[in-house]
Structure 1
Amino acid sequence: MVASAQEGTDAQSLRPSRPVAHSLEELARLTGARVVPAPTGTTAPVTGVVLNSREVQPGDLYAALPGAKVHGARFAADAAASGAVAILTDPDGARSVVEAGVGLPVLVSLEPRSWVGPVARAVYNSQPADGTGQELFAVTGTNGKTTTTYFITSILRALGHMTGLIGTIEILAGDTPIPSRMTTPEAPHVHSLLALTRERGITATAMEVSSHALEFHRVDGVHYDVAGFTNLTQDHLDLHGSMAEYFEAKAQLFTRERTSRGVVVLGDGDPWSAAMAQRARNNLGTENVTTVALRGSDGTRQDASDAEGSAHVGTGGADAADWTLRSLTRRGIGHAFTLQHTDGRALDMHTGLPGEFNVANAALAVLMVLDSGVALDTLQRVLDEHDPLSAGVPGRMELVGTRPTSLVDFAHNPDALARALRAVTPEDGCGRVIVVFGATGERDTTKRPIMGRVAAEEADVVIITDDDPHAEEPAPIREQVAQGAREAVANHARATDVLVIEPRATAIRTAVRMAHPDDAIIVAGRGHETAMDFNGVVVHLDDREELRDALAALHADTKEQQ
């Protein structure tokens, strides 16, 4: 992906003020790379690391990596002109740099990408060896990462920490929010951000860690105090190819190289969560892994659903789990619940966010903080006095209006969509569920008809529209989703109507006009996002704005008719 000028500006704003200068010889010893000296024989110390030539500042090491279409060595001259003092690349890149007469010394490695993170860690001193760094919390899984990191941050603030956050929605560096363009930034950005937040007095940071981040070395060199796992459901198979490979990508987080302790939510009969718990125990040691299985106080399955994601709330793995859900009651639109350890300890907590799915996300967040070394009675006091698990998350089961109940959620894969729809089903059975959603282009195509089927099985009215087609034609994407929905209706699914409507704003307005006061509308797939990509043409669209405006128009019309 080509970075924009704004992206370069954001990257520069993440720089710490006090990097640690390293000589080329020191970096060669760290990486085991071969040094091709500059023609002049002179070298300058390295004080920064970049992957994008447009982000280069004086003193930087430019990592010229092979790309899908273009080798980064092609831009080595541009990097030199901007002040780069050395190049890190592979043998092909080194030959290109020398032949182009760039004039900079070159570190040559067979696997240069795998060294970008460790080099950035050393130069930015992101995790000092003297233990003065901040506590780091990592959350991985298909769904639930964002909500869980927000919960962790909220708890840590209540405990008195100055907090940082690196996630899908935003990066928080002290009091400065920086919009995020990917679930996890590249390795130089991660390390420079950690160093910057430490300079600003941040004492603890929560981070989403995606499978892409692990596969593409974006978190190399980072060591977490506690890592948590939410679940594994179908997504990103366009990258990983199979669920087994997807699992292996996630499992990279639970190694001694990357984390000290792990917390795993055991899903309802889900073999992936059980396998992740076992893998974590094998790698980290049983004493360093905590598991939680969630079920109702009567021991029966609670059909929890997670719009933004979590493991199922159910009985699976309960007998082997360290912590188990022993009570679950509705409190407003949220839930109060108790977790009990096998040794008899218990934690009482409450989340004000809608949907039983947030019980799993909240439980994971609480146990991750507990495993960081916080005393149980201190944590219980904070949960009682501050209600940190009711912190709202933009675009995650975000309530936009009532009568009809109207929410926006990021659910963009089959499992998350199913859980979102179950979460908004009216308890009294009097209202309908209306869903508006689509599928993204240039992503896993196999999930499109599955999402259509799930929508038809869990909602009464299904409205299929566009969701970031990218370079694909939108109509065929809509039709693939609709085909799955229509087949489900033919097999006596719940839905009575399957509509295909574009553009997305019209689909949202249609849903609102169709709704009765007791119905529930959920606009799924995009959450907090505010721009849609149609083959490179960016169109502003915020589901929350569109839904809010449509509801205002509906209520205005209703008032005029009275």
Structure 2
Amino acid sequence: MATSLQALAKLVAGNLNNSPNSDLEITGIGLDSSNLPADGAIFAAVPGTRVHGATFAQQDQAASAVAILTDTEGGQLLQEAGEQRPVIVVNNVREVLGVASSSIYGDPSADFVLIGVTGTSGKTTTSYLLEKGLMAAGHKVGLIGTTGTRINGEVVPTKLTTPEAPTLQALFARMHEQGVTHVVMEVSSHALSLGRVAGSHFDVSAFTNLSQDHLDFHPTMEDYFEAKALFFRPESALAAAKQVVCIDDEWGVRMAGVAGNAQSVSTHGDPADFRAHDIEVSETGAQRFKVQAPAGVDLNVQLALPGAFNVANATLAIAAASQANIDLDAFVAGLSEVAVPGRMERIDEGQDFLAVVDYAHKPGAVAAVLDTLKTQIEGRLGVVIGAGGDRDATKRGPMGLLSAQRANLVIVTDDNPRSEVPATIRAAVLAGAQEGAAQATHEVEVREIGDRAAAIRALIEWAQPGDGIVVAGKGHEVGQLIAGVSHHFDDREQVREALQAKLNPLAEQQLPGSTEGK
């Protein structure tokens, strides 16, 4: 796995300054000056929000880079600093980073089947379903997504839903070396907009849905949609060879039209290439249904995951597997035991009410989770809800509004405040909840408890036999970001401890106190 410096410069159409007497072999590439790959790496120096990456070229491990890839501004900074190493100068580093990284690591995605899943909600669950189904069909599978990366079931730590291009291509190379035949990955709108997946050869792309999210990054929903459409438009360099689109919402219908050759998926009875029907839901929330595939084939599906949205996720996964020429009978058999961390995850300590932790942190997802829980209980419904700081502020009110329109108790608390004042975020969610309570036709109580652990305890103390409660927003996450500091916090741990305290009130429980302001 390597490419020559001259070949790389030609590939990215860059000007090569300080050209060496003999060609160099480039064996790795990195954006982080403090964490470059070993010998033979090229440092990709991109402009930052405050400082250009070229200013770090002489520091730490970046000094060991054999060459530098940068833009015109970075090239000027390096020249002024007296840089003697070869420098490839391009107009925009990020525009060529994916193709450059793929070339350096031997174009690994050309050697396995690559399936990408995009959309607002359901990416992680659909990816898990694909992973388990593919493994059941006898394939060696890599997974890249929100909850991390796995190679043949072994966890590989990563930080982003879709890693930066150099990390992604290095992961692809590692997967290829370990004999992986199929890779499933979540593809975020950021990854598509910023070119993180450029240079990757997608065999299949799958679209789940679109609802309000990431409007801190995308100025409008239209811009958000267009970012996703890069994965489907025939003229796009990022478009997959084959495509599947869920048409259960208006955005899906539009995406199917954009794609042109996509296979369609429906769970609402609309005509589609793959259509879920005869859906049966057990008392536990487990589901049985049929999927009508092309040529009139009916597949019998058993799914432990509750919720109509998971029927859509499973049907989409089946359609994607079909496009990848997978044995569908074997694939479907593998779906029955799929569980996804922090996604409609039941916490059971022997209590006589339903307790669930879910990652829902956007309006549509919150509404879907609460609607699902209402179908599984006979009693009241309660929710702990918050919103993240330094993110799309316009979704905070709607999250509170939709919660109060469905639940009997809404406790507004902190999520990940990040650098914002927690009370300011809560106020926006609280205003929406109070508006929703005023509109509701059922009795609604709205509380504000900033301490997330205390909010969870209050919710569980409120619950009575036959009720249902959901702690929404963080799901699988095990940290809470407050004022730039990450504190250990796991909703699932907190729910278990609060349940144990409720069931055994005489036992001494050392439950965490407030972390606000730390």
How would you bin the TM-score normalised by the shorter chain?
over 0.9
Answer yes or no: is 1:73 the counterpart of 2:54.
yes
Structure 1: which amino acid aligns with 2:33?
S
CA distance in 2 between counterparts of 1:81 and 1:498 reads: 53
Partner of 2:190: 212
CA distance in 2 between counterparts of 1:230 and 1:369 reads: 15
Deviations 1:333-389 (A, max 9, x none): 211111224642222211111222210011011110111012xxx422443xx4424
Say which of 431, 434, 438 aligns to 2:379: 431
Partner of 1:290: 263
Question: Aligned with 2:114: secondary structure?
Answer: strand
Deviations 1:152-174 (A, max 9, x none): 00001001111111010011133
CA distance in 2 between counterparts of 1:103 and 1:92 reads: 17
Say which of 453, 458, 462 aligns to 1:510: 458
Partner of 1:238: 216
* Distance change in 2, residues 1:427/1:192 (3 Å): closer
Partner of 1:301: none
TM-aligned CA deviation for residue 53 of structure 1: 0.6
Partner of 2:170: 192
Partner of 2:341: 394
Partner of 1:354: 306
Preserved CA contact (<8 Å) 1:437 1:524: yes
Question: Aligned with 1:73: secondary structure?
Answer: helix
Deviations 1:116-144 (A, max 9, x none): 11111111114376xxx111110000000
Answer yes or no: is 1:451 the counterpart of 2:399.
yes
* Distance change in 2, residues 1:42/1:484 (3 Å): same
Partner of 2:246: 265
CA distance in 2 between counterparts of 1:220 and 1:484 reads: 40
Answer yes or no: is 1:162 the counterpart of 2:140.
yes
Question: Aligned with 1:202: secondary structure?
Answer: coil
Answer yes or no: is 1:280 the counterpart of 2:253.
no
CA distance in 2 between counterparts of 1:59 and 1:481 reads: 51
Correspondence list, 1:414-493, <5 A:
414-427=363-376, 430-493=378-441
Deviations 1:90-121 (A, max 9, x none): 11100101111222111111122111111111
Partner of 2:275: 324
Partner of 1:147: 125
CA distance in 2 between counterparts of 1:389 and 1:89 reads: 49
* Distance change in 2, residues 1:343/1:535 (3 Å): same
Report the aligned-residue RMSD. Answer: 1.8
Partner of 2:483: 535
TM-aligned CA deviation for residue 80 of structure 1: 6.9
Preserved CA contact (<8 Å) 1:350 1:387: no
TM-aligned CA deviation for residue 276 of structure 1: 0.5
* Distance change in 2, residues 1:389/1:263 (3 Å): farther
Question: Aligned with 2:328: secondary structure?
Answer: helix
TM-aligned CA deviation for residue 330 of structure 1: 1.7
TM-score by length of 2: 0.93
* Distance change in 2, residues 1:559/1:404 (3 Å): farther
* Distance change in 2, residues 1:101/1:265 (3 Å): same
Question: Aligned with 1:55: secondary structure?
Answer: coil
CA distance in 2 between counterparts of 1:425 and 1:121 reads: 47
Deviations 1:271-319 (A, max 9, x none): 21111011111xxxx2xx210111xxxxxxxxxxxxxxxxxxx24xx13
* Number of equivalences: 501
CA distance in 2 between counterparts of 1:550 and 1:64 reads: 48
Structure 1: which amino acid aligns with 2:78?
V
Preserved CA contact (<8 Å) 1:400 1:407: yes
Deviations 1:223-266 (A, max 9, x none): 11111000000000111010100000011112453311000001
Preserved CA contact (<8 Å) 1:334 1:356: no
Say which of 488, 491, 494 aligns to 1:546: 494
Question: Aligned with 2:392: secondary structure?
Answer: coil
CA distance in 2 between counterparts of 1:558 and 1:433 reads: 27
Partner of 2:471: 523
- Identity over aligned pairs, percent: 41
Structure 2: which amino acid aligns with 1:272?
W
* Distance change in 2, residues 1:30/1:346 (3 Å): same
Preserved CA contact (<8 Å) 2:109 2:200: no
* Distance change in 2, residues 1:493/1:47 (3 Å): farther
Structure 1: which amino acid aligns with 2:470?
I
Structure 1: which amino acid aligns with 2:321?
V
Partner of 2:513: none
Preserved CA contact (<8 Å) 1:337 1:349: yes
Preserved CA contact (<8 Å) 1:89 1:106: yes
TM-score by length of 1: 0.86
Structure 2: which amino acid aligns with 1:388?
L
